[in-house]
A = this chain, B = another copy of it.
Amino acid sequence: MTAADPVAFVRSLRAVRSYRPDSVPPETVAELLEVARWTGSAHNEQPWEVIVVRDRVTLDALAAAGTWTKHLAGAPLGIALVLPGVDPLTEAFDEGRLTERIMLAALGRGVGSCIAWFDEPEGAIERARRLLGVPPDRTLRTVLALGYPEDRRVSSAGNPGPARKPVAAFVHDEHYGRR
């Protein structure tokens, strides 16, 4: 995918939950990891580690582990995000930045993506942690599911996705409460 207008490109990112079985080529994965590498972080600490998961058995088990993780069962690729667990709020913020950067880079290669969060049910995180061998002192919360979209539409073209609030509902002018 080219992006003649980068703002339209950035705006067009949407969650994609159904994937074709085709694997994502290693050179594309390498590009996503380079983008991960260059993502900004608080005080440039680059606190993240990632686990690249292509094993079907592991991906299916991860899908079964959580309430909001089912789309991993159809994904040919997962990228698990591991944080040090030292400064939870700052790390969650950096994790969000990293997530968005990887998802946008994937979009740039026609690869759809969707976040899988292991926050529910109780015990989901522990199951994911065991499947991936993540030590108890590290934070694991998110696995990105990635793959070529089943309907071949990776962005919002013709597929606006869930509704959004109007701009006026969340924007204040100079001071909170002033519209």
Contact = CB atoms under 8 A, between A and B. Distances in A.
Interface of A: 1-7, 9-11, 13-15, 30-31, 33-40, 42, 44, 46, 48-55, 58, 82, 88-90, 92-101, 104-105, 107-109, 115, 117, 119, 132-135, 138, 141-142, 156, 162, 164-167, 170-178
A171 B50 contact: yes
B37 A170 contact: yes
Q: Which of the listed residues A53, A82, A101, A107 has the most CB atoms from chain B within 10 Å of its own CB?
A: A101
A117 B42 contact: yes
A4 B7 contact: no
Given A10-B101, A100-B100, A176-B132, A34 B167 contact: yes
Contacts of A37: 164-167, 170
Contacts of A30: 167
Contacts of A165: 37, 46
Given A6-B108, A39-B100, A52-B173, 16 more contacts: A2-B4, A9-B108, A11-B35, A36-B170, A40-B115, A44-B162, A46-B164, A49-B171, A49-B176, A51-B175, A51-B176, A52-B174, A58-B174, A92-B92, A93-B93, A96-B100
